[in-house]
Amino acid sequence: MTSSLVRGSQFDRCPLTGTISVPGDKSLSHRVALFAALANGSSQVSGLLDSFDVRATLAAVESLGAHVELVSDPSGLSGTIAGPITSRSEESFGVHEPLQIDCGNSGTTTRLLLGLLSGRQLNVTLTGDESLSRRPMRRVTEPLSEMGASFSPMDHLPITVEGSASLRAIDYHSPIASAQVKSAILLAGISAQGTTSFSEPQKSRDHTELLLPAFGVAVRVDGLKVSIEGGQELRPSDCAVPGDPSSAAFLLVAAALLPHSQVTITNLSLNPTRTGFMAVLRRMGVSIEIKINERGTLGQELTGDVTVSWRDNLKATTVTADEIPSLIDEVPILALLATAASGNTRFEGVGELRVKESDRLSAIFEGLSVLGCHAVVDGDDLIVSQGPPTHSESTFSEPIHGEPTHSGPAHGGIVLSARGDHRLAMTWIVAARAFALDIEVPDIDCCGVSYPGFITDLLSLSGQ
């Protein structure tokens, strides 16, 4: 187990410098694993994120009959995934022998499997850890039920899925922008009769619609509407997964916070639906340079290198609700950066943070308050004001609502719970490093959900 105490004080705000790559994109890794398992044949894959979440997806497709042979190397997980899944006969697998799949902490694994299983005559129960079991699933199960699949219960794990061999196509208008809901409906649409369409109020991550054509599935995109024709078969595809921009954001913001830092991250996914945080960095006055590479072999995804150099005199900005879908996972670390910007930074319409791996909205408020920074939650908006941490040995230990409660320090420093949420854990680690504080994060190992080597990489950029 990793030590839970991050000793930022030993660095005295020395800069971060160097060039580094980050682990493979988590969203793409999930989809590559699922699509390769659906294809009739073997796909060669590389760069898959080696994390708890992605391993949950790989274990799920193996349970469903795919053949997975992967090894861990410096770039991630590489090898062969051979489908199709659910190739075993129903006499020995499916309705006559219910299967249980543990999705761990992975909302992506769960929601995409709900869509994938909807079009198959199987009886599968999806389970998850305590955090995942609290996350809402009705936003996925309701439209899939309209298509003809059955779920019991509808809203929270564990959920038993009974798929149908005669799914009906649907023209669904989603009240929220959600890549997971969109992907689930598109995956079900492949098995449906007719054309299935999904529309959303703002554009969410579009990895599914960019990647499916690489596996031989035609997808039509018309503005905020995505359509897919049922009855298409997936063919194998060789895929190299680029670095995860959400993981990179934590190192790039650390560089933006530490004087005289300059960090370059190579071979990064530059999908426009994932780079909203980079536009926010630029508006706040951070020096950011983006170099786009030639398109690779992974569908139509853009990749490239990103360099952030520290600048003084950062300024506050407003992050609008329309921007939030492109940077929802980066709000915690952007909120930390906002403490170094003059003025009040407002994040509009971030209520979705309440139903992520944890209630991130209250956790950000509480954590920044414990650090001595000023944050306010105004309905679904988060407002963060300039002001470096002024910690005076006060901590919190339990999730609360409203004003934070404080207790005595552990090991003479600050205790910040990540609530089992990898994005929060990495935010508090960056806070320790950027502000030269000793911070204990009791559940620090949850970084392994998306970035197992985060502390090691942060130390390497620190010259250690």
Catalytic site residues? 329
* Maximum Cα interatomic distance, the chain, rounded to a whole number of Å: 68
- Residue 189 · residue 225 · CB < 8 Å: no
Whether residue 413 contacts residue 5, with contact meaning beta carbons closer than 8 Å, is answered with yes
Which residues sit opposite 315 in a β-bridge?
A: 342
What count of other Cβ atoms lies within 10 Å of the Cβ of residue 346? 18
Beta bridge partners of 21: 266
Given a contact cutoff of 8 angstroms between Cβ atoms, the answer to whether 384 and 369 are in contact is: no
Q: Are 149 and 174 in contact (CB under 8 A)?
A: no
> Which residues are within 8 A (CB) of 74 and not within 5 positions of it... i.e. 6 or more apart?
none
Is 298 within 8 Å of 351 (Cβ atoms)?
Answer: no
How far, in whole angstroms, is CA 297 from its chain's centroid? 22
The answer to whether the peptide bond before residue 158 is cis (omega within 30 degrees of 0) is yes
Strand (E) or helix (H) holding 237? none
Tokens of 160: 């038993």
**DSSP structure string for 370-402:** HTT-EEEEETTEEEEE-------S-B--S--SS
Chain mean position to CA 67: 26
Task: Give the up-direction half-sphere exposure of residue 402: CA atoms within 13 A in the CB hemisphere.
Answer: 1
Give the helix/strand (H/E) hosting 436: none
Q: What's the DSSP call for residue 273?
A: T
Two tokens, residue 447 = 């970084």
Per the structure block, which two tokens stand in for 184?
Answer: 């689930």
CB 389 within 8 A of CB 372: yes
- Bridge partners of residue 228, in order along the sequence: 196, 219
CA angle 61, 64, 68 (to 5 degrees): 45
Query: From the CB of residue 13, how many other CB atoms can be counted at a distance below 10 Å?
Result: 15
